[in-house]
Amino acid sequence: MTTRIQIYDTTLRDGCQGEEVDLTVESKLAVAERLDAFGVSYIEGGWPGSNPRDEAFFAPAMALGLRQARIVAFGSTRRAGVAADADENLAMILRAGTPAACVVGKAWDLHVREALRVSREENLDIIRDTMRFLRANLDEVIFDAEHFFDGWKANPEFTLECLRAAAEGGATLLCLCDTRGGSLPGDITAAVAAAEGAVETPLGIHCHNDGEMAVANSIAAVQAGCVQVQGTVNGVGERCGNANLVSIVPNLQLKLGYECVSEQQLHGLTDLAHFVDELANREPNKQQAYVGQSAFAHKAGLHASAVRRHSETYEHIAPEVVGNYQRVLVSDQAGRSNLLYKARELGIDPAELEPKVGELLQELKELEHAGFQFEVAEASFELLLQKAIKGEKLRYFELVGFRVINEKRHENEDPIAEATIQVRGPGGVLEHTAAMGTGPVNAIDTALRKALVEFYPSIEEMRLVDYKVRVLDDKHGTEGKVRVLVESHDAHHHWTTVGVSPNVIEASWQALVDAIDYKLYKDTKRTPAVSEASANSA
């Protein structure tokens, strides 16, 4: 029989303690719904009373009507010298209205002595009384044994006594915490075994990532007998973060045969990871295991060739299982297999490209040596494929010339940018326009589209949504080459183009022209374009 592992998510509490992680109440509610859909067992919503945002979360969260997850309120054991039924912190936990609570208590005698400044016997009473009080009012009470693994190393008998006190008070699960995040898997395995021998209450694991071992330690704990894993989406959390559930869940389920979520829910893992990053205003980690954009990306020609024949040669799982997908990159390391694979992926018959692959491969390597990067600029790469197939560059207009003026008249005023441009469109028709912009690149973009819209009205729906500049050779300072990436979209597509030059305006022009050419190529595949040859003769 497959063992079921409870997934306890603390993104909304412990995760929000991470630097630059900030979620509004509305965002926390949205994340809670996605976590429930993904199939987690528990969602820790926050610490009632610790801040207005956490306090405002629980009432609407309980009204969400979640199908699978239980909302959990977090708090600490009662204060020393205060009865449990008179402790305001415990009262706030109950007022949150959740069916379950998770309460943290000291399990390391150093903290009992230096932080609480009470005797070890009194600490045991505090744990026992807190659990008993909450258990009388709630369905489930989880005890988070803070610093359990450090405490077990220093004074194993006392640390195990803390677990016994929580169990005697009625705790429904004892979660062993690697609070400082410095333990190793061998430490975890031995301490979990000791805890299993001391109590009959089910055990959980809560790891931090200060030693880059949180995922490994969590898996070791499950293999040693823990039935619950606490962690966060994408491993967010204070200091170096918490155990990353995005890695833990597929490792447990796909590699070790435990049941965490349904097969269908696991397909939503990548979407969940990116959704949380988006709401937290974080750039998704491309190299993140399982869900990163690069997790199943293949760049070397040898790898791509093997993956085409059999994906298991370089992929440890089928990417679709976790909602990701395979990517074959094009670069100066690409081989014939990469190019033919990409052609097929882009809907181009590889047979059309086959005769030109050698020349294309050489051109691609020369361009990347010059600083171009096509791994992310797939629109520019597709235009490069079309150039190879047709024997000339696909172009819907010809530049006659442009001029940009960037003027700053007063110290406290923003600069003024103006671009004037002349282009020759279909039939050799000349168009001459000018436009103002917030900067030189914006001015060129506006003027160019203004000039072309008479020929190609669909350009109106095109938008430039991102613009990135990277200096490629900082040894030459402001004279060094720059790479410009332009991200565009319309109602149907989203694409990125690239330009490279020592002049940032020229690099931007290259990327902007590719962006427009790509848009028109997609819109007018059946309409003859103005090639360089015909444009020059116009």
Rounded to an integer, what distance in angstroms lies between the CA atom of residue 285 and that of residue 443? 33
Residues of the chain within CATH 3.30.160.270 domain(s) are 398-537
| Size of the chain, expressed as the number of residues it contains | 538
Question: Angle, to 10 degrees, between the axis of helix 378-390 and the axis of helix 504-523?
Answer: 70
**Which residues touch 157 (CB under 8 Å, ≥6 apart)?**
none
Rounded to an integer, what distance in angstroms lies between the CA atom of residue 172 and that of residue 42? 14
- Under CATH, to which class is 6-261 assigned? alpha beta
Q: DSSP states of 438-457 as a string?
A: SSHHHHHHHHHHHHHTTT-G
CB–CB of 486/512 below 8 Å?
yes
Helix (H, G, I), strand (E, B) or coil at 396: coil
Question: Angle, to 10 degrees, between the axis of helix 378-390 and the axis of helix 336-345?
Answer: 100
- pLDDT one-digit tens code per residue, 258-312: 999 999 999 999 999 988 988 887 878 989 999 998 888 776 544 555 655 556 6
CB–CB of 250/27 below 8 Å?
no
Q: Which of the listed CATH numbers 3.30.70.100, 3.30.160.270, 3.40.50.150, 3.40.640.10 matches domain 398-537?
A: 3.30.160.270
Task: Output the CA torsion 184→209→232→291 (10° steps).
Answer: -90
* DSSP 8-state secondary structure symbol assigned to residue 256: S
Please give the angle made by the CA atoms of 129, 130 and 134, to the nearest 5 degrees: 115
- pLDDT one-digit tens code per residue, 237-260: 999 999 999 999 999 999 999 999
CB–CB of 387/378 below 8 Å?
no
Residues of the chain within CATH 3.20.20.70 domain(s) are 6-261
C-alpha distances in Å from residue 210, one per residue of 190, 306, 353: 20, 37, 50
Structure tokens at 175: 């979660």
Q: Cβ atoms within 10 A of the Cβ of 302, count?
A: 14
Q: Give the DSSP H or E segment for 404.
A: strand 398-407
C-alpha distances in Å from residue 183, one per residue of 169, 311, 455: 28, 36, 66
C-alpha distances in Å from residue 491, one per residue of 186, 377, 449: 54, 19, 17
> From first to last of its 538 residues, what are the pLDDT tens digits of the chain?
789 999 999 999 999 999 888 899 999 999 999 999 999 999 999 999 788 888 899 999 999 999 999 999 999 999 999 999 999 999 999 999 999 999 999 999 999 999 999 999 999 999 999 999 999 999 999 999 999 999 999 999 999 999 999 999 999 999 999 999 999 999 999 999 999 999 999 999 999 999 999 999 999 999 999 999 999 999 999 999 999 999 999 999 999 999 999 999 999 999 999 889 888 878 789 899 999 988 887 765 445 556 555 566 668 898 999 998 776 655 444 556 667 767 777 777 878 878 888 887 788 778 877 888 776 688 888 898 888 888 888 889 999 999 999 888 888 888 889 999 999 999 899 999 999 998 999 999 999 999 999 899 999 999 888 888 888 876 656 667 898 989 898 877 888 899 999 999 999 999 999 999 999 988 876 444 444 434 443 3
